[in-house]
Amino acid sequence: NTPPPSPNTRLAFIPIPIPIPIAKKVQTRFKLRAWRAFPREFFGFLVGRRAEDHLEVLDMFFPADQKEYATDVEVTLAGHWWTLAMEYVAQQKMIVLGSAHTHTYRAARDEGEAIPSIGDMESWEVPDLICGIANVVEGSDRKKKCGDIAWYGPPSNCDVTVKRAGRRTRCWIITQC
């Protein structure tokens, strides 16, 4: 006889890879704007389409008033940004698939890995959206560099393809328990 499972036992599931093609020009546009925004963090909504077996990021929407809500340690998602993003995607006949933002590091400040911070995870109101994070770093020579975007979410394993470069990377998703 097998004893019943403990009430503390969590059900396990096998993650199914979700392809998420993201146009190289979308990433390049984000990185250029993020580089210009330094030393402030920068934010953009990912815009595209959801199919039965994949998500496709086709564009990004960047709120215009970010200077009012961004510092060198955080960007606060202003409530009216969602309204503006929803109006934008309605015009484009698309949906918001998630967001991307930066973490900034000045010269002589240790650079962290481009992963969601505790604050990022606590602020995820909709857990099935994609989250992209890129580091913008100032070197000792005062030159700035925006790294590649690291992608997280939806809460499973996902394949990300950068279309023009043809590279495919696999990332494990960080989820809150």
- The β-bridge partners of 145 are 137
State the number of CA atoms in the 13 A half-sphere of 116 facing the CB.
22
Task: Phi first, then psi: give them for residue 55, nearest 5 degrees.
Answer: -115, 145
d(CA 46, CA 78): 16
Q: Which two tokens stand for residue 19?
A: 């392809």
Q: What is the pLDDT along the chain (177 residues), one digit of tens a residue?
A: 555 544 444 444 445 567 778 888 999 999 999 999 999 999 999 999 988 878 889 999 999 999 999 999 899 989 899 999 999 999 999 999 989 999 999 876 777 778 777 767 666 666 567 888 999 999 888 899 999 888 876 544 455 555 554 455 444 444 332
